[in-house]
């Protein structure tokens, strides 16, 4: 099942993508693709519906972030060994955790704003994991039972603010529009092995990232178990699991960063694609 949110910013409606790629409205079934609506029993009820019985959405509406009312947007750093190498950093012995502010969340095809004064805005295609069943001290053996589904995330990053301005990585990760999510939340039953997914990113048609989740250092059950020791995980929390090599910062001999007027395209096998145009922040 592919769940989505469509409509104007701040007024998105819940929807479902049918087998013909058309949007079906879910507003009579669920208030939003968010929070407790992502619990296993609620998803099972949605899965039991006949998509043909749901109202067909006309036209080509804007696609919003596939999860609403996100409580925590948790990110994992340096979770691909080859990306750690290109960044000149040691492979971590434990997951590196940082956060993106929820004000960074935007739709998968919304514009990405280059912050004022920035010359080091970068891209990162990542597999997103959405929590459906909350918990603390979750056992790794049953951690995947807590997953509602998966999505595409672009962990846009301003490297100067991340690495050169003191403090934690959060500063460079949380600018407005730095968290495109979607287009779909693909439920767990449709992703038999989340550790065998190709993921890629292009800028202006040039492919920079071309990796596979099989090379994750810390796999999804490990991450969920580890995070649940640090904090309670709640329905609708989003975990961005790290990026493969090919980020602009790692390009040799000269790093490449984003400028206004460029187009990013990125996707993950079975989870859909995103497309963003970069613009200068007002």
Q: Alpha carbon 184 to chain centroid distance? A: 10
Confidence (pLDDT) at 167: 78
| pLDDT score at 85 | 80
Strand, helix or coil for residue 251: coil
Reading the chain (282 residues) residue by residue, the pLDDT tens digits are 999 999 999 999 999 999 999 999 999 999 999 999 999 999 999 999 999 999 999 999 999 999 999 999 999 999 998 787 877 878 889 999 999 999 999 999 999 999 999 999 999 999 999 999 999 999 999 999 999 999 999 999 999 999 999 878 999 999 999 999 999 999 999 999 999 999 999 999 999 999 999 999 999 999 999 999 999 999 999 999 999 999 999 999 999 999 999 999 999 999 999 999 999 999
| Pair 247, 128: CB distance under 8 Å | no
Rounded to whole angstroms, the Cα distance separating 159 from 257 reads 9
| 109 backbone dihedrals φ, ψ, rounded to 5° | -120, 10
* Amino acid 93: pLDDT: 92
Pairing of strands 23-25, 112-114: unpaired
Residue 20 to residue 268: CA distance in whole angstroms: 20
Judged by DSSP in three states, 261 sits in: coil
Q: Does CATH number 2.60.40.10 belong to domain 69-280?
A: no
pLDDT of residue 194: 98
Each domain of the chain, given as residue ranges in start order, spans 69-280
d(C-alpha 237, C-alpha 154), whole Å: 16
Structure confidence at residue 1 (pLDDT): 98
Write the CA distances from 71 to 177, 182, 237, 238, 254, integer angstroms: 17, 17, 6, 8, 38
Question: How many Å apart are CA 15 and CA 6, to the nearest integer?
Answer: 7
Q: Return d(Cα 98, Cα 194) in angstroms, integer.
A: 22
- Please give the helix or strand (H or E) that residue 196 lies within, else none: none
Q: What is this structure's pTM?
A: 0.96
Alpha carbons 279 and 282: distance in angstroms, whole number:
9
Token pair recorded at residue 63: 């696609």
């Amino acid at each position: 099942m592919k769940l989505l949110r469509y409509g104007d910013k701040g007024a998105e409606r819940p929807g479902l993508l049918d087998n013909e790629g058309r949007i079906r409205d879910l507003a009579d079934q669920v208030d939003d693709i968010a929070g407790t609506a992502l619990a296993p029993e609620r998803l099972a009820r949605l899965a039991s519906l006949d998509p043909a019985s749901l109202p067909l959405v006309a036209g080509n509406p804007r696609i919003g972030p596939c999860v609403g009312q996100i409580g925590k947007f948790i990110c994992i750093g340096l979770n691909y060994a080859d990306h750690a190498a290109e960044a000149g950093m040691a492979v971590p012995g434990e997951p590196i955790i940082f956060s993106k502010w929820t004000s960074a969340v935007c739709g998968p095809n919304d514009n990405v704003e280059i912050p004022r004064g920035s010359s080091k805005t970068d891209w990162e295609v990542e597999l997103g994991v959405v929590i459906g069943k909350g918990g603390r001290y979750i056992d790794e053996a049953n951690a995947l039972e807590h997953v509602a589904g998966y999505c595409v995330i672009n962990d846009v990053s301003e490297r100067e603010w991340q690495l050169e301005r003191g403090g934690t990585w959060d500063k460079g990760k949380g600018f407005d529009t730095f968290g495109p999510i979607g287009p779909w939340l693909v439920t767990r039953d449709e992703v038999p092995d989340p550790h065998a997914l190709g993921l890629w990113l292009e800028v202006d048609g040039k492919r920079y990232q071309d990796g596979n989740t099989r090379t994750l250092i810390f796999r999804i059950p490990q991450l969920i178990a580890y995070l649940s020791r640090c904090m309670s995980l709640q329905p609708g929390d989003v975990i961005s699991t790290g990026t493969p090599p090919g980020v602009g910062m790692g390009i040799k001999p000269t790093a490449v960063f984003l400028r206004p007027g460029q187009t990013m395209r990125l996707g993950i096998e079975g989870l859909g694609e995103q497309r963003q145009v970069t613009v200068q922040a007002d």
